[in-house]
Amino acid sequence: MTAAPSTLADVLIAPGPAPEYADRMNLYGQFVGAWTMDAVMQTDDGQRHEAKGEICFGWVLGGRAVQDVWALPDFFHGTTLRIYDPDQDAWHILWNDPLKQYYTRQLGRADGKDIVQHGTLADGTVIRWRFTEITPDSFHWIGDRSRDGGASWQVQADFRATRITA
């Protein structure tokens, strides 16, 4: 008798971090689980929008990466793949939002008690996405951009997340 073919979930989802990097994987692994978020979005024309959404984080790719899905109705629905790079002791961050057709690439690292991700968009805009005020049951996520090479920053997104499940 032959084994049933694998499903995407079978080959994607991992039960935990890869053992050889377990100590480094918790930077983003600490978020594995389900979260709700209260979001404030600032549009380019200065309008403020408030909404509630959800976030789910999980181990993937043999425990060598953390993937998440962020859903904020009427604003975005996307996924981040966060892959640890032991040579750089940093994380490659790939955000994909097919709803808005918005894609970014960043590099993430611990910065004191925070996590900071830096990237540059195709038009030269510098982006900085930060996890701050991190506790086991909550975090504050801030998405900034700079059109002057980092001399000044504009907050585009401000999310306060609360854990639902681990």
Query: On the CB side of 122, how many CA atoms lie within 13 Å of its CA?
Result: 3
What pLDDT tens digit does each residue of the chain (166 aa) get?
Answer: 567 778 999 999 999 999 998 999 999 999 999 999 999 999 888 899 999 999 999 999 999 999 999 999 988 999 999 999 999 999 999 999 999 899 999 999 999 999 999 999 999 999 999 999 999 999 999 999 999 999 999 999 999 999 999 8
pLDDT score at 141: 98
Percent of the chain that is helix, strand, coil (3-state, to 5): 10, 60, 30
pLDDT score at 139: 98
Other CB atoms within 10 Å distance of the CB of residue 102: 12
Distance CA 18, CA 6 (A): 20
CATH superfamily of 10-165: Calycin beta-barrel core domain (2.40.128.20)
pLDDT score at 4: 75
pLDDT score at 78: 97
The domain segmentation of the chain, as residue ranges, is 10-165
pLDDT score at 164: 98
